[in-house]
């Protein structure tokens, strides 16, 4: 399974926004979050990215 690091450290405020690079292909993905010490982690349900729309 291939992973892409979104952030190494983020504030624990309940939300986190990020941009997805345009070279990430369409497909099925999950998001995994974990504590810095890697003692706890959670994985999202599978979601699909179907393609890209460029905002101008």
Domain ranges of the chain: 26-51
Which of 4-37 are b and which e, b meaning 16 or more Cβ less than 10 Å from the residue's Cβ? Answer: eeeeeeeeeeeeeeeeeeeeeeeeeeeeeeeeee
What is the pLDDT, as a whole number, of residue 12? 84
What is the pLDDT, as a whole number, of residue 18? 86
What is the pLDDT, as a whole number, of residue 2? 66
38 pLDDT more than 80: yes
pTM: 0.67
């Amino acid at each position: 399974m291939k992973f892409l690091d979104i952030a190494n450290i983020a504030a624990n405020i309940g939300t986190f926004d990020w941009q997805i690079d345009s070279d990430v292909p369409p497909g099925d993905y999950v998001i995994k979050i974990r504590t810095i010490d890697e003692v706890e982690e959670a994985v999202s349900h599978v979601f699909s990215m179907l393609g890209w729309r460029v905002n101008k």
